[in-house]
């Protein structure tokens, strides 16, 4: 029974991790990464590694100590981000990262709680939680990695798959309209709404810092290339990467209804909405408690 003698995944990855050495430019974020878990599970050329790096940099720059940061992820490739960060991290059931984070924020409002998960996790199976959390304006930083497809499960149609795109479950082209994510977030009441790609690292970093700073529901849609999406649509991965760089235009004041991602049209990026007048939900909850207790 040779298989019984094989190393566990854990031992294997620890053994492998000995080979992982980060280049000197990553010195600042190295303490925030569980490098013993490297290499990551992500495909070569996947955008998630860039997001991991940018998010870790944002933690460093936030001046909030790492122990006060919490990350909640759902299921899917993006759901693994929590497992590579050396902060308090939760990998929860599919679609439920936002309610889980809501519970944490209400129990410990002093923590900086971020949700990092995929488009399918947050907007399809978790769509109901997304709209209600935005409506309440609870102080969460929601980073939606939009790769236009369900990657981990083999490439199925999602609620952000562009019209006409091919997937395993839309082999003749997607018949559905995808979400216009910034418009949806705004309509539901989010305080901060932005869209960037993983390649716009400075702008994305600044947007994440802004999300940390704003006491309310922040949504950053992060477009990210996925080899599965490229393959299903007869694109070379490099073409997809190039598309996310060359077809994108930065326009902070773009009308939200123009932000739909459509084939052959420019993809608009920017920090679109910033509203600070709405109180955050956990603040209002605490205010009521204080008032009732005469504090």
* Interacting residue ranges for other proteins, rule: CB under 8 A: 4, 8-10, 34, 37, 66-68, 70, 72, 82-83, 86-93, 95-96, 99-108, 110-111, 128-129, 132, 285, 288-289, 292-293
Min separation Cβ 190 and other proteins, Å: 16
Q: Which is nearer to other proteins, 81 or 205 (CB)?
A: 81
Q: Which is nearer to other proteins, 128 or 202 (CB)?
A: 128
The single-letter DSSP state of residue 68 is: G
- Tell me how far apart the alpha carbons of residues 47 and 237 are, in angstroms, rounded to a whole number: 11
Min separation Cβ 28 and other proteins, Å: 18
Side-chain half-sphere CA neighbours of 269 within 13 A: 20
For the record, the structure tokens of 45 come out as 């050329």
For the record, the structure tokens of 238 come out as 């490099």
Min separation Cβ 273 and other proteins, Å: 22
β-bridge mates for residue 170, sequence order: 167
Give the strand pairing for 267-274 and 192-197. antiparallel
Q: Which is nearer to other proteins, 10 or 239 (CB)?
A: 10
Q: Which is nearer to other proteins, 96 or 166 (CB)?
A: 96
Min separation Cβ 197 and other proteins, Å: 28
Are 141 and 58 in contact, with CB atoms under 8 Å apart? no
**Burial of 278 by CB count in 10 Å (0-12 exposed, 13-18 middle, 19+ buried)?**
middle
Q: Which is nearer to other proteins, 19 or 293 (CB)?
A: 293
- Tell me how far apart the alpha carbons of residues 17 and 220 are, in angstroms, rounded to a whole number: 31
For the record, the structure tokens of 113 come out as 């709680």
Min separation Cβ 135 and other proteins, Å: 9
Q: Which is nearer to other proteins, 116 or 269 (CB)?
A: 116
Min separation Cβ 6 and other proteins, Å: 8
For the record, the structure tokens of 253 come out as 């004041």
The single-letter DSSP state of residue 97 is: H
């Amino acid at each position: 029974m040779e298989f019984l003698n094989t190393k566990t995944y854990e031992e294997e990855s620890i053994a492998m991790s000995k080979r992982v050495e980060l280049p000197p430019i990553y010195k600042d974020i190295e303490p925030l990464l569980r490098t013993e878990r490297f290499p990551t599970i992500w495909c070569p050329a996947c955008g998630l590694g860039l997001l991991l790096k940018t998010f870790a940099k944002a933690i460093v720059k936030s001046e909030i100590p790492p122990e006060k940061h919490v990350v909640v992820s759902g299921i899917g490739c993006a759901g693994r981000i929590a497992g590579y960060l050396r902060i308090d991290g939760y990998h929860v059931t599919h679609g439920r990262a936002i309610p889980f984070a809501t519970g944490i924020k209400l129990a410990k409002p002093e923590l900086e709680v971020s949700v990092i998960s995929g488009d399918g996790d947050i907007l399809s199976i978790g769509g109901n939680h997304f709209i209600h959390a935005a409506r309440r304006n609870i102080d969460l930083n929601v980073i939606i990695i939009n790769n236009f497809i369900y990657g981990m499960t083999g490439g199925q149609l999602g609620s952000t798959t562009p019209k006409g795109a091919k997937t395993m479950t839309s082999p003749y082209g997607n018949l559905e309209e995808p979400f216009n994510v910034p418009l949806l977030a705004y309509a539901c009441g989010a305080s901060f709404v932005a869209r960037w790609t993983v390649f716009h690292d400075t702008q994305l970093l600044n947007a994440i810092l802004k999300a940390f700073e704003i006491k309310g529901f922040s949504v950053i849609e992060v477009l990210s290339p996925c080899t599965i999406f490229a393959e299903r649509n007869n694109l070379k991965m490099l073409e997809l990467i190039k598309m996310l760089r060359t077809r994108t235009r930065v326009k902070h004041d773009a009308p939200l209804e123009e932000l739909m991602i459509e084939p052959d049209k420019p993809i608009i990026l920017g920090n679109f909405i910033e509203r600070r007048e709405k109180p955050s939900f956990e603040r209002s909850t605490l205010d009521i408690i204080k008032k009732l207790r005469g504090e």
